[in-house]
């Protein structure tokens, strides 16, 4: 999207207005970085930074729209009268008020407004799918969609559990990020649904973000088309997707946990129908499943009543634990999945891939991450410690950790993270390294301390004419997808993607060459998820090596091996 027209109109705003859209905290931080000199805060720069930090989300602000219309040429403003049937005013100020007071949704007046800025309604407003499109029937193809050896063994072990004589089966599959959990799980589902369930009943895949849900839907669709038997119904049940009451529930459903909780609270009839038809529940990012409200609704599916069919609960996770410290929560998670875990067995892999003599004489690699790195499935991590002057001492970091976790937090509080994110020396060092990465055209994903920290880094990069994108939770899915698309496009000059609490899961970009962890954490789960964004090796379409830049706050905490194996002792197998 070209933001030049928007920028030109914004440059007619006052300096104080433009500063207001960036926020005083961000302005103060920018001034601190530039030793209090305001000369760099020109209207052009302020407009660019506001657009980069907030994107088209600026247009949601009624007062912003009013000011924007006030900056437009007279003939453009008068053009609004054709789209305001209840207004016969020719006064330009009144027209600006009438237009800005209109609801911010797809409409004729807003279509005209966006066209005058060089955008379309599709750039701003989400296109809602028809209800009927939440159900799809797909056909299978003839060709084979092969699994790798270790994925096939995981599949067979899972199917052995699913066909065991126990009525309510529970287990969890533990595979490192980047080794194909979703693909392996969908193969398990296809086989189980085809040959064990005889294409009867409902498989429900549960996840907590739209990215994970869409990824599961697309992966299953591709796998079924290659190894499925005939046709299957596919259902979307998240966000704006809903299911008609009279629809036949038989096939594969992808369901958001928020939607399932809403159904649990508000639609007992649909919930009972889902429970009655369910034969397999799959929980992606299973370490989140033991949260009280989540566990309560999932467990309703795992009760066998009179005349009900057998069913199973299958979890997927790269970090099969909930908290870093020894805790009841971890024990609860283990119990929820029956204390049964399927993991990568490197000794078995030797037996499969070597002669009998070789397998006897070759010690199995106990470190699963290193095993996959040696195979090229995962990239090798090249670590870099980012040290900054006036950094926090070990004693200070420990003090923050004690304060942050005094009330039982699993990680640093947002207040502490915001404080760390404002450290000038720290940010100057981060910026210096980001300049170098951009100069060398290294695709880099940055994990910021907070929304404000991400906005600050994005604003400073924009100030220095360094292309970047910021992805935060309050962005529209449309803008988020556009930013990610530009980052993945290697013909685009955008090399730096900054995010806060959005791209830790459900985000796959095989071009990532650097993971920049600019936020401290003591959560092994979060650290593993951040690190996992760059772990895809050449065999999985990624890179031989990935640079991990870790600000000194984190480096002593974890590495990729520790992050994967941390929870092993909880599972007693």
Total of domains in the chain: 3
Over residues 557-564, mean pLDDT? 53
Residues 204/234, Cβ–Cβ less than 8 Å: no
**What interhelical angle do 24-33 and 424-439 show, nearest 10?**
80
Whether residue 358 lies inside any domain: the answer is: no
- Segment among 140-149, 162-171, 514-523 with least mean pLDDT: 140-149
Token duo for residue 287? 């370490």
Task: Give domain status of residue 362, yes or no.
Answer: no
The residue with greater pLDDT, 479 or 547, is 547
141 and 106 in one domain? Answer: no
Q: How confident is the model at residue 251 (pLDDT cuts 50, 70, 90)?
A: very high
Give pLDDT, residue 409: 47
Say yes or no: 315 and 436 in one domain: no
55: confidence class by pLDDT, cuts 50, 70, 90: confident
pLDDT at 470 over 50: yes
For the residues of 462-500, what is the DSSP string, one character each? HHTT--EEEE-TTS-HHHHHHHHHHHH-TTSS--EEEES
pLDDT at 293 over 50: yes
Beta bridge mates, 372: none
Q: Which residue has the higher pLDDT, 132 or 338?
A: 338
Residues 64 and 195 in one domain: no
pLDDT at 418: 78
Q: What is the pLDDT of residue 397?
A: 60
Q: Nearest to residue 332, comparing CAs of 300, 303, 289?
A: 289
47 with 148, same domain: the answer is no
Mean pLDDT of 30-57: 80
Dist CA 240 CA 233 (whole Å): 19
pLDDT band (50, 70, 90) for residue 555: very low
Q: Quote the pLDDT of residue 570.
A: 40
Is 571 a domain residue?
no
Does residue 342 contact residue 158 with C-beta atoms inside 8 Å? yes
Domain shared by 434 and 554, yes or no = yes
Q: Tell me, what CATH number does 221's domain have?
A: 3.40.50.300
In a domain, 359, yes or no: no
Is there a domain that residue 573 lies in?
no
What is the pLDDT averaged over residues 117-134?
73
pLDDT digits (tens, 9 = 90+) for 182-205: 999 999 999 999 999 999 999 999
pLDDT of residue 408: 47
Judgement on whether residues 115 and 238 belong to the same structural domain of the protein = no
Residue 572 lies in a domain: no
Same domain as 339, residue 207: yes
Question: Which has more confidence, 4 or 563?
Answer: 4
Pairwise CA distance, residues 341 & 462, whole Å: 47
- The kind and range of the H/E element at 101 are helix 92-101
Picking from 101, 123, 145, the residue at the C-terminal end of a domain is: 123
Measured CA to CA, the distance from residue 42 to residue 14 in angstroms comes to: 10
pLDDT for 438 equals 95
In a domain, 367, yes or no: no
| Candidate ranges 281-285, 378-382, 407-411; pick with highest mean pLDDT | 281-285
Top-ranked range on mean pLDDT: pick from 83-87, 107-111, 316-320, 362-366: 107-111
Asked whether residue 371 is domain-assigned, the answer is no
Kindly state the tokens that stand for 508. Answer: 């796959």
- 21 with 84, same domain: the answer is yes
Cα-based torsion angle of the residue sequence 487, 490, 496, 500 in order, rounded to the nearest 10 degrees: 30
Please give the residue range of the domain that contains residue 97.
3-123
Domain check: are 119 and 250 in the same one? no
Query: Length of the chain, please?
Result: 573
Note the pLDDT tens digit of each residue in 397-446: 666 555 555 444 456 667 777 778 888 888 889 999 999 999 999 999 99
Write down the pLDDT at residue 507.
65
**Confidence band, pLDDT 50/70/90 cuts, at residue 57:** confident
Same domain, 393 and 326: no
What per-residue confidence (pLDDT) applies to 441? 93
Better pLDDT: 569 or 355: 355
**What percentage of residues in the chain have a pLDDT greater than 90?**
30
Cα dist from 425 to 45, 80, 210, 554, whole Å: 23, 50, 37, 17
Q: Which of 251, 257, 250 is nearest to 284 (CA)?
A: 257
Residue 127 has pLDDT above 70, yes or no: no
Q: Check whether residue 489 and residue 533 sit in a common domain.
A: yes
Confidence check: pLDDT of 343 > 60: yes
- pLDDT, averaged across the chain: 83
Percent of the chain surpassing pLDDT 70: 85
* Residue of 1 and 172 predicted with greater confidence: 172
Both 517 and 397 in a single domain?
yes
Per-residue pLDDT reduced to its tens digit, 528-551: 778 777 788 888 888 888 898 988
The answer on pLDDT for 38 being more than 70 is no
Instruction: Give the pLDDT confidence of 485-543 residue by residue, as tens digits.
Output: 888 887 888 999 998 877 655 566 778 899 998 887 777 777 777 877 778 888 888 88
């Amino acid at each position: 999207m070209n933001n030049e027209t928007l920028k030109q109109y914004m440059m007619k705003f006052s300096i104080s207005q433009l500063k207001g859209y960036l926020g005083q905290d961000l302005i103060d931080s920018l001034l601190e970085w530039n030793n209090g000199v305001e000369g760099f805060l020109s209207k052009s720069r302020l407009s660019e930074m506001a657009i980069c930090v907030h994107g088209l989300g600026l247009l949601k602000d009624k007062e912003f729209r009013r000011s924007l219309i006030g900056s437009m040429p007279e003939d453009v403003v008068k053009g609004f009268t054709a789209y305001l049937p209840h207004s016969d005013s020719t006064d330009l100020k009144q027209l600006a008020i009438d237009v800005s007071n209109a609801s911010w949704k797809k409409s004729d007046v807003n279509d005209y407004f966006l066209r005058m800025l060089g955008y379309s309604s599709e750039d701003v407003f989400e296109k809602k799918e028809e209800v009927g499109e939440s159900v799809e029937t797909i056909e299978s193809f003839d060709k084979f969609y092969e699994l790798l050896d270790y994925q096939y063994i995981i599949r067979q072990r899972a199917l052995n559990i699913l066909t065991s004589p126990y009525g309510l089966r529970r287990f969890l599959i533990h595979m490192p990020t980047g080794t194909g959990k979703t693909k392996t799980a969908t193969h398990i589902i296809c086989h189980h649904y085809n040959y064990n369930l005889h294409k009867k009943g409902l498989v429900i895949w549960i996840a907590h973000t739209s990215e994970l849900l869409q990824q599961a839907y697309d992966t299953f669709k591709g796998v079924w088309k290659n190894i499925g038997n005939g046709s299957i119904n596919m259902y979307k049940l998240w966000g704006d997707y809903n299911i008609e009451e009279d629809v036949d529930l038989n096939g594969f459903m992808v369901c958001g946990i928020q939607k399932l909780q809403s159904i649990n609270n508000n639609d007992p009839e649909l919930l009972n129908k889902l429970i009655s038809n369910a034969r397999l529940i799959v929980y992606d990012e299973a370490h989140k499943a033991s949260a009280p409200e989540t566990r309560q609704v999932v467990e309703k599916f795992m009760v066998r009543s009179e005349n009900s069919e057998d069913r199973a609960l299958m979890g997927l996770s790269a970090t099969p634990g909930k908290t870093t410290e020894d805790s009841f929560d971890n024990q609860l998670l283990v119990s929820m999945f029956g204390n049964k875990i399927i993991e990568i067995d490197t000794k078995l892999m030797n037996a499969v891939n070597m002669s009998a003599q070789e397998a006897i004489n070759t010690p199995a690699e106990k470190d699963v991450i290193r095993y996959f790195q040696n195979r090229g499935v995962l990239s090798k991590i090249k670590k870099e410690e980012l040290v900054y002057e006036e950094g926090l001492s070990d004693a200070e970091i420990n003090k923050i950790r004690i304060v942050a976790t005094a009330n039982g937090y699993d990680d640093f509080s947002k207040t502490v993270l915001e404080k760390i994110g404002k450290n000038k020396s720290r940010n100057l060092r981060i910026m210096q390294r980001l300049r170098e990465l951009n100069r060398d055209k290294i695709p880099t994903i940055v994990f910021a301390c907070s929304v404000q920290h991400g906005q600050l880094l994005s604003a400073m990069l924009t100030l220095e004419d360094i292309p970047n994108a910021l992805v935060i939770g309050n962005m529209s899915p449309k803008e988020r997808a556009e930013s990610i698309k530009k980052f993945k496009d290697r013909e685009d000059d955008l090399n730096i993607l900054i995010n806060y609490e959005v791209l830790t899961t459900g985000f796959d970009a095989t071009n990532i060459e650097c993971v920049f962890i600019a936020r401290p954490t003591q959560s092994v789960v979060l650290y593993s998820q951040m690190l996992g964004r760059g772990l895809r090796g050449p065999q999985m379409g990624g890179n031989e090596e990935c640079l991990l830049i870790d600000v000194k706050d984190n480096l002593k905490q974890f590495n990729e091996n520790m992050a994967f194996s941390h929870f092993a002792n909880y599972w007693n197998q």
